[in-house]
Chains A and B, each alone.
Chain A
Amino acid sequence: MKLHHFLPLVALGLVSCATPKNTPPASASQPGAAAKAPASGGTDALDDYGDTVVVSDPLEGLNRATFAFNDKFYKWVMTPISKTYTTIFPKPVRKSIDNAYENVKFPVRFVNSGLQGKFGRAGKEAQKFGVNTVAGVGGLFKVSDKIDSLKDVPAEDTGQTLATWGMGHGPYIVVPVMGPTTLREAVGSGGDYVLNPINWGFVFTGDADDWAWIPPTGNTIRAMPGQLDLYKEATANAIDPYTAVRSTYIQNRNAAAEQ
């Protein structure tokens, strides 16, 4: 397998399934939005939101081994790449690169809003894309953050669409390099991959010309600092980092699907 075929897969995992996303809440104010699980016996009457978030983890032994591998991989391979990137590019430049990649991902959010019947939200996504592309100079500046009606539109993706359609998570899986996912979210990531224009070089031309690997590889690298920060945050003060990441991932995805 050629390396440049592998890199976009890494990008896909990092960007769309590995870790929490910035999906600010519109309707996340319901009690217990984050932790829905059968009550396992509370210690008091107000205990319902402390329940353990449940996901089936039949592959836990293998998952833990992969998790341990990933931990080293993030530390020894990805952190140096990420550090090199952050050293070369100053923060405002990185922010603009992030903004541009997120802006280009518009079809993922637009199509999935539509597939969930959230047409108002799809409309707002279109407005956001328009504003950020035109006033934000091709998406380099996130002008929509200054517009009240557009600043907190929850970002939809294919995993959330499948959840809305009634599909459960299925088993929890830790994928080498990419990190945590579930069967449903992995299928969702496949959908996001196809819908994301940065991968269209591969998607539409099959065995692509050499230029096709540039946008997804760029995406992988630009997303690394943020993804590594999230990973560090989820594990830094954990009792058991494996369980902490699993709980963080599942709660985050459940909350995103409910919005």
Chain B
Amino acid sequence: MNRRPFIALILAAPLLTHGAAADEAQATLRSTIDEVLGIANGASSRSALASSARSVLQRRVSFETMTRRAVGVGWKQFSSAQQAKATDLFTTLVIRTYSNKFTPGQTATIDYKAATNPASGRVDVPTTLVYKGSRYSVIYRMEQIGGWRIADVVIEGVSLVANYRSQLDASFKQGGAEAVIRSLEQSVSRPS
């Protein structure tokens, strides 16, 4: 029996799963983005977009993971009530950050590039966002968290999670979990 095809198949198996994970994650991302863009195209204002997109985003974005990483090492010292509170505030802040970039009446186009699989359970999807005549690099970091979910967004090299971590880290050092929650509350209550 010629064993070569069999060996080839075994060797190719990791590649196949790699490709499958990347495809799966990318498909999830596409449907999420299509859904959000659908809402955005019908939205009359930024705040309307923020409230109507929230349920879709909560399903597809792991805000809990984002918040945990944005807080960093201090997260373990949060009580579960504090964790829930921080996650809720951070969710509002992130959704507002993104809906603020949106102008009613302008449509966005997204070019998807080949996804990479930096680690098991993780897929990065690089894209180019074309909006109002400019091109922006946006990388979506997807993770297997009960299905593929967005765990970070990197715009022009700037990671959302890393950006907030640099700020929340200082709050935590100043006054622990309470200080983090207070500073999140302050940011959320500031008019955007």
A contacts, CB < 8 Å to B: 20-25, 28-35, 40-44, 46-47, 49-53, 95, 145, 151-152, 233, 236-240, 243-244, 246-248, 251-256
Q: Are A256 and B122 in contact (CB under 8 A)?
A: no
Q: Are B166 and A24 in contact (CB under 8 A)?
A: no
- What are 17 A-B interface contacts by the 8 Å CB criterion? A23-B137, A33-B154, A41-B73, A42-B73, A49-B159, A50-B70, A51-B162, A51-B165, A237-B93, A239-B168, A240-B167, A240-B170, A246-B166, A251-B157, A252-B158, A254-B157, A255-B154
Q: Which of B143-178 contact A (CB under 8 A)?
A: 143, 152, 154, 156-159, 161-171
Q: Are A24 and B157 in contact (CB under 8 A)?
A: no
Pick from B70, B139, B166 the residue with the most CB of A within 10 Å. Answer: B166
CB distance from B167 to the nearest CB of A (A): 4
Mark the stretch among B12-20, B28-36, B52-60, B94-102 that contacts chain A: B94-102
A residues near B137, Cβ cutoff 8 Å: 23-25, 28
> A40-B72, A239-B168, A239-B184 are known contacts. Are A233 and B101 too (CB-CB below 8 A)?
yes
Q: Are B100 and A236 in contact (CB under 8 A)?
A: yes
Bound form: Cα–Cα A191–B74 in Å: 42
Tier of interface size on chain B: 35 or more
> A42-B73, A233-B100, A237-B97 are known contacts. Are A35 and B119 too (CB-CB below 8 A)?
no
Among B136, B171, B183, B192, contact of A22 (Cβ-Cβ < 8 Å): B136
B contacts, CB < 8 Å to A: 68-73, 75-76, 93, 96-97, 100-101, 113-116, 118-119, 121-122, 124, 126, 128, 133-137, 139, 141, 143, 152, 154, 156-159, 161-171, 183-184, 186-187, 192
CB distance from A146 to the nearest CB of B (A): 11
Bound form: Cα–Cα A47–B92 in Å: 22
Minimum-distance CB pairs A-B, first 6: A255-B157, A31-B118, A50-B69, A239-B167, A35-B162, A25-B137
> A33-B154, A238-B187 are known contacts. Are A152 and B128 too (CB-CB below 8 A)?
yes
Q: Are B72 and A247 in contact (CB under 8 A)?
A: no
Bound form: Cα–Cα A140–B169 in Å: 45
Bound form: Cα–Cα A240–B180 in Å: 12
Bound form: Cα–Cα A240–B115 in Å: 33
